[in-house]
Amino acid sequence: MTNPSLLILPGDGIGPEVMAEVRKIIAWFGAKRGLNFDLSEDLVGGCAYDRHGTPLHDDTMAKAQEVDAVLLGAVGGPAYDKLDFSVKPERGLLRLRKEMDLYANLRPAQCFDALADFSSLKKDVVAGLDIMIVRELTSGVYFGEPRGIFKEGNERVGINTQRYTESEIARVARSAFELARKRGNKVCSMEKANVMESGILWRDVVQEVHDAEYADVELSHMYADAGAMQLTRWPKQFDVIVTDNLFGDLLSDLAAMLTGSLGMLPSASLGAPMENGRPKALYEPVHGSAPDIAGTGKANPCACILSFAMALRYSFDQGDEAARLEAAVNQVLASGVRTADLMQKDGGTPATTTQMGDAVIAALEASL
């Protein structure tokens, strides 16, 4: 049997540093758990632009379509801020999402016990928090046409279009309901049906899919602005939240910060099943390229490590090994090892990116 294939795209900023730690973890699973991957590596984002004049080379795009899963670090940085919109690092990531048709973006917001004090909210509001935001990722205002900056009379007008078809809404709703069945069996759908027609359709279709196929799952609807408010007021009322591309972008950053640090949160972007039954998939940390700390050893590799855990679970059917890795991270945090983003002001010496990776490996060793 051939090994499953994994394309690694470290990207820019802290991407390569955190990915180096993930590579150590992947090697550990090969050596100690017999889980071997056919690994390849390529460029995405600013580094791809520097090399090829495009943030995602066609060859890389083709490779991403062939592999069983893609693991991405982060893209972007100030060096690329002035580039034309069409070749900005982010366009590389958006092209991957769109052409692989990764319509369901899973963003867990989980509060690690050891980190409940790091949230800006009171401890009892966030302790034990475990919610999953399912963000539609390939449509909506991110991709709708018409779009652009046009001349209208003697001024410019900027246009983006929010557009959703029924099938686009239905498929991401199904992803949310399926996930809910494996968790708390509750879905809250968020839109702005009070002001947007696309929101009215969203609400209707989610309800229809529910009534026809998932009547056993508890479904509620909320306006996205009220949802943001409820997320900060009492986030534990939620289990799975399903929402569109733009609201999902905002709400997932909000939810991430509830847990104390963006440096801890992974994500999975999943598409339709391939011939081998695995979903098309890209895994990446929720955090960005953090150019301000790149190269300083301050980056927290946990979000990227946990993204690999999601790959084990959702692409490679290794839920037990994913749980082993998640438990190892949890244990390292509980033992007090912290990267700089997780240090209280009076907190002693932070672990470097490499030391954090090594600590996770030690915890994995201890789990055998």
Residues near Mg ion, by CB under 5 A: 249
Q: Which of 101, 130, 253, 358 is catalytic?
A: 253
Q: Please report which residue ranges of the chain form alpha helices under DSSP H.
A: 15-33, 46-52, 58-66, 89-99, 123-126, 166-181, 197-213, 224-233, 245-258, 302-314, 319-334, 353-366
Query: Which is nearer to Mg ion, 106 or 325 (by Cβ)?
Result: 106
Query: Which is nearer to ligand IPM, 17 or 249 (by Cβ)?
Result: 249
Q: Which of 192, 244, 280, 283 is catalytic?
A: 192
Query: Which is nearer to ligand IPM, 63 or 98 (by Cβ)?
Result: 98
Q: How, if at all, do strands 279-285 and 130-136 pair?
A: unpaired
Residue 98 designated active-site: no
For residue 90, the partner it binds in ligand IPM, Mg ion, none, with Cβ less than 5 to 8 A by kind, is ligand IPM
For residue 93, the partner it binds in ligand IPM, Mg ion, none, with Cβ less than 5 to 8 A by kind, is ligand IPM
Contacts of 267 (CB under 8 A, 6+ apart): 105, 106, 107, 108, 252, 283, 284, 285, 286, 307, 310
The DSSP secondary structure of 93-150, one letter per residue, reads: HHHHHHHTT--EEEEEEE--GGGGGGSSS-HHHHTT-EEEEEEE-SSGGGTEEEEEEE
**Stretch 239-258 residues interacting with ligand IPM (CB under 6 A):** 249
Q: According to CB under 6 A, which one of 22, 56, 70, 93 is a site residue for ligand IPM?
A: 93
Shortest spacing between CB 114 and ligand IPM, in angstroms: 25
Q: Which of 49, 80, 142, 214 is catalytic?
A: 142
Cβ–Cβ < 8 Å for 44, 62 = no
Q: Which of 101, 186, 223, 225 is catalytic?
A: 225
178 near ligand IPM, rule: CB under 6 A: no
Shortest spacing between CB 26 and ligand IPM, in angstroms: 23
H or E stretch including 294? none
Q: According to CB under 6 A, which one of 33, 36, 90, 221 is a site residue for ligand IPM?
A: 90
Q: Point out the residues that are catalytic.
A: 142, 192, 225, 249, 253
The residues that touch ligand IPM, with contacts defined as CB under 6 A, are 90, 93-94, 249
